[in-house]
Amino acid sequence: MNQALLKASGFALLVGVTAGAHAQITSLPYNPSVYVMPEVGYTNPDNRFGTRATGPEAGLRFGKAINQYFDVRVGGSWARSDDANVRYQQSTLGVDGLLFLSRDKIRPFVSLGIGAQNDRRNIPNRENSRTSPYAAAGVGLQYAFADQWAAEIQYKKLFGFQRSNVYGFKRNENNYATVGLTYYFDKTPTPAPRVEAALPPPPVAQVAPPPPPPPPAPRFEKVTMSANKMFGFDSAVIRQPAPKLDEIAEVLKANPSVSNVKITGYTDRIGKPAYNVKLSQRRADAVKAYLVAKGIDGSRLTTEGKGPADPVVQCTEKNQKALIVCLEPNRRVEVEDVTIEKRVR
């Protein structure tokens, strides 16, 4: 390979990388493990060293991806060029930063580096050697042909800064074209499955709940109490305790809007009708007085004694005791228009 071919290959790489730079950088998974890369190639040294011939190059580099786009490498190389009576050797040790324009299978990149170079020149009867700092710039292409393997070609230029005038100049430029084989010590991690963000559901119009139905109107029913159980024979004095009357009083307290509650007393047909009417009236009045004593406004209550009117049962027994027993349902006190824990549903 001659000097023109070396420079042509470097120009071709530069064009390829520059074109790749216009493409969007892909964001595929990259291998973050440490890798090793042996390389071989050719060098074309600065002709001021006294040689125009290209020569072989060999190197060994270690690297690691810092993130999706950048790698860092450290390593060294050795190169030689023989031309007539001049033998020139250059050894380098340095660090490079690589910017990858893609992490797909074909990966163009550019590189910048710094380090130290040792230049040694042998001419008849004289040998010169000098170690100097250098800066490097390059372009390259990497091809990942397996999970842990990649091949690479690179064109790089080293700018040496001679700190003395050993060779008659204080700056030199050497060109390198290399081929490397990269091995990653670990496999590329499997990317996490991509989870598409679920779109939020469309807003649902807030519908006001229907108003609760109005409470049902209370249903009033007639409460009938046995006069035999509430009063003694031929008596209008209420026997204690009187749980039924207590229950009626609680209902009336809970429903203050209920008025015109009618209390009606009844007797059976035994005895004189006029006396029975008076007895039924006294019993109705006794029930009203009991409710008033429990806190019920007396204006809400009316009383009436009907004596033997409106009988519930009809009896024809001839025996007096049997007749009294049969007529017992007729001896009663009725409280009308009172609700006892019942509502229409």
The percent of residues above 70 in pLDDT, for the chain, comes to 85
Condensed to tens digits (0 to 9), the pLDDT of residues 241-269 reads: 888 889 888 888 888 888 888 999 888 88
pLDDT of the residue at 99: 96
* pLDDT interval class at 164 (50, 70, 90): confident
User: In terms of domains, do 148 and 276 share one?
Assistant: no
Is the pLDDT score of 202 beyond 70? yes
In this prediction the pTM is 0.50
User: In terms of domains, do 264 and 168 share one?
Assistant: no
Q: Is residue 207 part of a domain?
A: no
User: In terms of domains, do 252 and 317 share one?
Assistant: yes
Q: Are strands 261-265 and 332-338 parallel, antiparallel or unpaired?
A: antiparallel
Which among 268, 61, 14, 300 has a CA at the least distance from the CA of 180? 61
User: In terms of domains, do 27 and 156 share one?
Assistant: yes
Q: Is residue 275 part of a domain?
A: yes
Are the C-beta atoms of 320 and 210 separated by less than 8 Å? no
- Helix, strand, coil shares of the chain, percent, nearest 5, are 20, 40, 40
User: In terms of domains, do 56 and 125 share one?
Assistant: yes
Q: Is residue 49 part of a domain?
A: yes
Q: What's the CATH number where 100 sits?
A: 2.40.160.20
| CA distance to 238, 249, 326, 330, per residue, from 292 (Å) | 14, 9, 33, 26
Which residues, in sequence order, are bridge partners of residue 136? 113, 158
* pLDDT interval class at 28 (50, 70, 90): low
User: In terms of domains, do 118 and 233 share one?
Assistant: no
HSE-CB of 105 using CA atoms within 13 angstroms: 2
Find the range with the poorest average confidence among 95-99, 146-150, 265-269, 301-305.
265-269
* pLDDT interval class at 23 (50, 70, 90): very low
User: In terms of domains, do 279 and 158 share one?
Assistant: no
Mean pLDDT value across residues 9-30:
52
Q: Is residue 329 part of a domain?
A: yes
CA trace torsion 271, 273, 277, 283 (10° rounding)? 10
Which of 135, 168, 184 delimits the end of a domain? 184
pLDDT of the residue at 150: 95
Condensed to tens digits (0 to 9), the pLDDT of residues 114-137 reads: 999 999 999 888 888 889 999 999
309-318 burial code (b ≥16 CB/10 A, e <16): beeeeebeee
Q: Is residue 160 part of a domain?
A: yes
User: In terms of domains, do 85 and 229 share one?
Assistant: no
Q: What's the CATH number where 303 sits?
A: 3.30.1330.60
User: In terms of domains, do 68 and 145 share one?
Assistant: yes
pLDDT of the residue at 213: 79
Neighbours of 54 (CB within 10 A): 22
CA trace torsion 134, 135, 137, 138 (10° rounding)? 30
Tell me 318's DSSP state: S
Q: Is residue 291 part of a domain?
A: yes
Are the C-beta atoms of 151 and 142 separated by less than 8 Å? yes
User: In terms of domains, do 57 and 106 share one?
Assistant: yes
Is the pLDDT score of 37 beyond 90? yes
Q: Is residue 64 part of a domain?
A: yes
The percent of residues above 90 in pLDDT, for the chain, comes to 40
Which of 136, 165, 184 delimits the end of a domain? 184
Please report the sign of the dihedral spanned by the C-alpha atoms of residue 190, residue 147, residue 114, residue 118: positive
Higher pLDDT, 274 or 215: 274
Characterise 283 by phi-psi region: left (phi > 0), alpha (psi -120 to 50), beta (else): alpha
Q: Is residue 343 part of a domain?
A: no
User: In terms of domains, do 179 and 43 share one?
Assistant: yes
Mean pLDDT value across residues 267-292:
90
Long-range CB contacts for residues 207-216, cutoff 8 Å, separation at least 24: 215/343, 216/343, 216/344, 216/345
Domain that holds residue 233: 221-338
Phi, psi of 253 (to 5 degrees): -65, -40
Is the pLDDT score of 17 beyond 70? no
User: In terms of domains, do 274 and 163 share one?
Assistant: no
Token pair listed for 284: 């109705």
Which of 167, 184, 201 delimits the end of a domain? 184
When divided into structural domains, the chain yields a total of 2
Angle between helices 273-293 and 243-254 (to 10 degrees): 60
